Amino acid sequence: MVLYYCDFSLARLARKSKGLSREDIARNSAKSGDYICAGTVRRIEQGLPARPESIRALARQLDLDPALLRGPAQHEVDDRGPDPEWVQLPAGMTLDRARLRRAIFLDMDGKHAAAAGLMHDLLELVPTGRDTWKIRVYALTQLASFQTNMGHNDVALETLASIVEEPHGKGRESSPLLRRADYVRGIALRRMGQYAEAHERFQELINSQDIELPALHQLGVANLVQGIALDDAALLSDAEVLLDECLDRLGRETGQAGYRAALAMRRMGQLRDHQGKTAEAIHCYLEAFGIFASHRATRYVKATRAELNRLLFPWGP
């Protein structure tokens, strides 16, 4: 039986094996314990749903509950235990870390308005001053991130603009906190369809080591989203190069497929999906899904599951 595999390195192998048939790619990865059978791929490409036994096999290989691939999550994001990779609390800041952590988890659970409300409350507890400038800039940037996740991109840009008006910012123009604010500004601009301005922000940030990889990823996302909207082959090709570079560098620097790599892998899945390369799209989505689930990244678990369901169960779950 010809099979397909979804391992981190082999998914990249499949992406780079341009011109090879499905069977050639499968033979290249057969030694590694493949799990998507050719029959399943053919059914999906013909618009037929994957068989239940195939879904159970996929779940077993990923150590997942098969129900995760079918139905909506029945629980909120779990904020107990050690922080997953996507929770990055500021070091050395006198801020209510428990409430801040809760706000970040609410945002990951898709409850962006509640997260923004908590951040508003936290900001009211921090007076303006030279000693609190870093805290306020961090909190305002986090608030803007929640606002753009709500779809309130214009409000997010207003929040970010208020950072410039914060007292005691003179001489701190090179602060990493301001680069993070520029990063969120670029995301808001991209979501508003202002691609040229978003590109400009991310291009500038690529030269900053502390935020280079996230900016590189977002530059790829901007090209991808615009390329899909316009069906522009040149933009889609640029997106592929940028996302592939992110995956290669994340693999080298972390030694494993981490949370940020999963973000790029999911976007690569969207690219393959748009190109009609169904098997490769499933490879990327499944790998990203497994990583998101292991990192308790509920919002991305839901989004990636919806993308998988559309391909695996075209007639509905």
User: How far is the CA of 268 from the CAs of 94, 208, 279, in angstroms?
Assistant: 39, 24, 12
Give the pLDDT confidence score for residue 82 in this predicted structure: 57
User: In the predicted model, what is the mean pLDDT of the chain?
Assistant: 76
Confidence check: pLDDT of 35 > 60: no
Give the pLDDT confidence score for residue 193 in this predicted structure: 95
Report whether 11 contacts 26 (CB < 8 A).
no
Range of lowest pLDDT (7-16, 57-66, 278-287):
7-16
> How many residues are recorded in the chain?
317
Give the pLDDT confidence score for residue 209 in this predicted structure: 83
Give the pLDDT confidence score for residue 284 in this predicted structure: 87
How deeply is 259 buried, as exposed, middle or buried, from its count of CB atoms within 10 A (0-12, 13-18, 19+)? buried
Rounded distance, CA 149 to CA 113, Å? Answer: 9
- pLDDT by residue (tens digit) across 297-315? 889 988 998 898 888 766 5
Rounded distance, CA 257 to CA 250, Å? Answer: 8
The closest of 280, 287, 282 to 309, measured between CA atoms, is 282
Token pair in block for residue 277: 């390369």
Confidence check: pLDDT of 213 > 50: yes
Give the pLDDT confidence score for residue 57 in this predicted structure: 60
Confidence of residue 274 (pLDDT cuts 50, 70, 90): very high
Token pair in block for residue 307: 């993308």
- pLDDT by residue (tens digit) across 148-195? 999 999 999 999 999 887 776 666 667 888 999 999 999 999 999 999
Give the pLDDT confidence score for residue 32 in this predicted structure: 37
- pLDDT by residue (tens digit) across 39-91? 555 555 555 555 555 655 655 555 555 555 555 444 455 555 555 555 565 66
Give the pLDDT confidence score for residue 117 in this predicted structure: 95
Give the pLDDT confidence score for residue 279 in this predicted structure: 79
State whether CATH 3.30.70.20 applies to domain 3-312.
no
- pLDDT by residue (tens digit) across 85-112? 555 656 666 667 788 888 988 999 899 9
- pLDDT by residue (tens digit) across 234-261? 999 999 999 999 998 887 555 445 888 9
Give the pLDDT confidence score for residue 298 in this predicted structure: 87
Give the pLDDT confidence score for residue 1 in this predicted structure: 24
Report whether 294 contacts 264 (CB < 8 A).
no
Rounded distance, CA 117 to CA 134, Å? Answer: 20
Q: Pick 133 or 235 by higher pLDDT.
A: 235
- pLDDT by residue (tens digit) across 135-147? 889 899 999 999 9
Tell me how crowded residue 205 is: count the other CB atoms within 10 A of its CB: 21
